């Protein structure tokens, strides 16, 4: 699962990428190639589990982020097409909006969205023609495809994003193969200036209300400060945060929101060696969760012994959870709950 950082040129995408990935990837400036990196997901529940079951190592879940070159504002078609190719490849979109230096948020959101919708419309028109030809020759699948594509074409013609409609699973399956960008889940990030770290300024508020209108959420982050924090030694961070009057880096809130737009939930494994968080699709089955750890555990899945992390926070130890009868034994059909702590039994 991949989140793409997108936006107009120079709005702070690469700066935010550096913050999310803690400067782990060498950056190519001025290149039309995206930067790809791994962002750990800060997780207060993981820290609490590790306090109660102290391990040698604590390993957070991660999400892959792609820093995509900026969309030229009214720029050339070939530069734009190079950027769109990368946007088509990601699972979810994180749109960065510049809210510092007197930039107008509403205008940049509208122009970004218009570019994506227009590019989707071109794809939809080509696809409608092709499906119509196949439908005329009596292909039943093509008829279904055609009706979905025509609905898409109408929406896009009215400048509405494809994600605004509630599609059935079958329709979603059809849409997926076309890589429509306005169908991808989206999250707005207001990149605020150092004078508005809490994101209460007028442009950040515009981003928030535009996000609500689009049926999604927004997060306010100062990319430059977050990038500086990410570069500091862990021990120095507390002072920096205190001097700015904030408790935690905003990047944690952003990472959690990214997890949410990707439709992921978290489960944990806990033992003396390591306490670890894992990301899986919401509602995934126990064997699928086991497969996130290792394909052997999925293949040889017997059962999952699990409890909820809230049980641990309440009862303080696995021993008390067992005594209280809250240790569950779950089989193949179990849908994982966000916050489960699991021990898989398997045989290969
Ligand atoms: N004041 C201020 N400047 C910022 C902030 N974020 C980024 N900048 C500056 O804006 C400039 C562009 O930042 P980048 O992160 O390279 O922007 P980008 O979106 O990756 O740009 P392209 O990839 O060229 O589209 C740099 O000089 C940054 O230092 C911020 O939060 N506040
Ligand atoms: Mg960049």
CATH of residue 160's domain is 1.10.150.300
Do 220 and 336 lie in a common domain?
no
Least confident segment among 73-77, 154-158, 216-220: 73-77
Do 82 and 6 lie in a common domain?
yes
Q: Which residues line ligand 1 (CB under 6 A)?
A: 7, 9-15, 69-70, 100, 191, 193, 222-224
Number of the ligand 1 atom closest to the C-alpha atom of 223: 31
Residue 323 lies in a domain: yes
Q: What is the mean pLDDT of residues 277-284?
A: 95
Q: How high is the pLDDT of residue 249? A: 83
Q: Is the pLDDT of residue 318 over 70?
A: yes
Q: Which of 184, 208, 229 is the last residue of a domain?
A: 184
Q: How high is the pLDDT of residue 75? A: 63
Q: Which of 196, 231, 265 is the last residue of a domain?
A: 265
User: What residues have CB less than 8 Å from 75, skipping those under 6 apart?
Assistant: none
Do 94 and 209 lie in a common domain?
yes
Do 73 and 129 lie in a common domain?
no
Number of the ligand 1 atom closest to the C-alpha atom of 96: 19
Distances (CA, A) of 18 to 26, 109, 257: 9, 23, 18
**2-26 tens-digit pLDDT:** 999 999 999 999 999 999 999 888 8
Look over the chain and give the mean of its residue pLDDT values, rounded to a whole number.
93
Do 248 and 201 lie in a common domain?
yes
Write out the H or E segment, with its range, that includes residue 96.
strand 92-98
Q: Which of 232, 265, 298 is the last residue of a domain?
A: 265
The tally of CA atoms less than 13 A away on the side-chain side of residue 154 is 7
Residue 278 lies in a domain: no
How many domains in the chain?
3
Q: How high is the pLDDT of residue 27? A: 87
| CATH of residue 76 | 3.40.50.300
Q: How high is the pLDDT of residue 74? A: 67
Q: Rounded to whole angstroms, how far apart are CA atoms 107 and 123? A: 25
Do 84 and 3 lie in a common domain?
yes
Q: How high is the pLDDT of residue 274? A: 97
Three-class DSSP category at 311: helix
**117-127 tens-digit pLDDT:** 999 999 999 99
Residue 12 lies in a domain: yes
Nearest alpha carbon to residue 348 among 306, 307, 305, 287? 287
Do 210 and 224 lie in a common domain?
yes
Do 205 and 302 lie in a common domain?
no
203 backbone φψ class: left, alpha, beta (φ>0; ψ -120 to 50): alpha
Protein residue with its CA nearest to atom 9 in ligand 1: 12
Which residue range(s) make up the domain with 289? 283-346
Nearest ligand to the CA atom of 226: 1
Q: How high is the pLDDT of residue 250? A: 84
Q: Rounded to whole angstroms, how far apart are CA atoms 216 and 257? A: 10
Do 93 and 109 lie in a common domain?
no
Residue 271 lies in a domain: no
Number of the ligand 1 atom closest to the C-alpha atom of 101: 1
Q: In what order do the strands lie in the sheet with 274-281?
A: 57-59, 274-281, 264-270, 340-346, 301-308, 328-330
Number of the ligand 1 atom closest to the C-alpha atom of 9: 25
Residue 276 lies in a domain: no
| CATH of residue 308 | 3.10.20.30
Do 144 and 116 lie in a common domain?
yes
**25-67 tens-digit pLDDT:** 888 777 788 999 999 988 999 999 999 999 999 999 999 999 9
For ligand 1, mutation pick of 5, 12, 18, 219 (most atoms within 8 Å of CB):
12
Protein residue with its CA nearest to atom 6 in ligand 1: 12
Percentage of the chain exceeding pLDDT 70: 99
Residue 275 lies in a domain: no
User: At 153, is the pLDDT very low, low, confident or very high (cuts 50, 70, 90)?
Assistant: very high
Nearest ligand to the CA atom of 28: 2
Distances (CA, A) of 176 to 76, 84, 88, 172, 279: 28, 16, 10, 6, 22
Residue 272 lies in a domain: no
Residue 78 lies in a domain: yes
Do 179 and 227 lie in a common domain?
no
Do 78 and 205 lie in a common domain?
yes
What is the CA(98)–ligand 1 centre distance, in A?
Answer: 9
């Amino acid at each position: 699962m991949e989140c793409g950082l997108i936006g107009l040129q120079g709005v702070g995408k690469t700066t935010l990428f550096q913050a999310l990935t803690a400067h782990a990837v060498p950056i190519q400036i001025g290149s039309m190639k995206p930067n790809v990196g791994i962002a750990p997901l800060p997780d207060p529940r993981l820290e609490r589990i590790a306090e109660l079951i102290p391990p040698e190592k604590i390993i957070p879940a991660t999400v892959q982020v792609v820093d995509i070159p900026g969309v030229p504002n009214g720029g050339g078609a070939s530069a734009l097409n190079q950027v769109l190719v990368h946007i088509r490849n990601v699972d979810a979109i994180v749109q960065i909006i510049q809210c510092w230096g007197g930039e107008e948020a509403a205008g940049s959101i509208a122009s970004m969205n218009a570019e994506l919708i227009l590019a989707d419309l071109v794809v939809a028109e080509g696809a409608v023609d092709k499906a119509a030809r196949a439908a005329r020759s009596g292909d039943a699948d093509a008829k279904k495809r055609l009706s979905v594509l025509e609905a898409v074409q109408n929406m896009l013609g009215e400048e509405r994003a494809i994600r605004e409609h509630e599609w059935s699973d079958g329709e979603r399956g059809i849409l997926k193969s076309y890589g429509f960008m306005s169908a991808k889940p989206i999250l707005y990030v207001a990149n605020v200036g150092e004078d508005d770290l809490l994101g209460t300024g007028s442009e950040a508020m515009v981003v928030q209300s535009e996000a609500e209108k689009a049926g999604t959420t927004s997060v306010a982050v100062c990319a430059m400060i977050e990038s500086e924090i990410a570069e500091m030694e862990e021990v120095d961070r507390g002072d920096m945060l205190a001097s700015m009057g904030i408790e935690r880096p905003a990047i944690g809130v952003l990472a959690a929101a990214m997890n949410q737009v990707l439709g992921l939930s978290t489960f944990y494994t806990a033992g003396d060696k390591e306490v670890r968080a894992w990301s899986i699709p919401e509602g995934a089955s126990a064997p699928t969760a086991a497969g996130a750890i290792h394909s052997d555990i999925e293949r040889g899945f017997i059962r999952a012994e699990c409890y909820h992390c809230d049980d641990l926070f309440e009862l303080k130890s696995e021993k008390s959870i067992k005594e209280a009868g809250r240790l569950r034994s779950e089989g193949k059909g179990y849908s994982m709950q966000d916050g489960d702590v699991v021990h898989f039994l398997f045989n290969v």
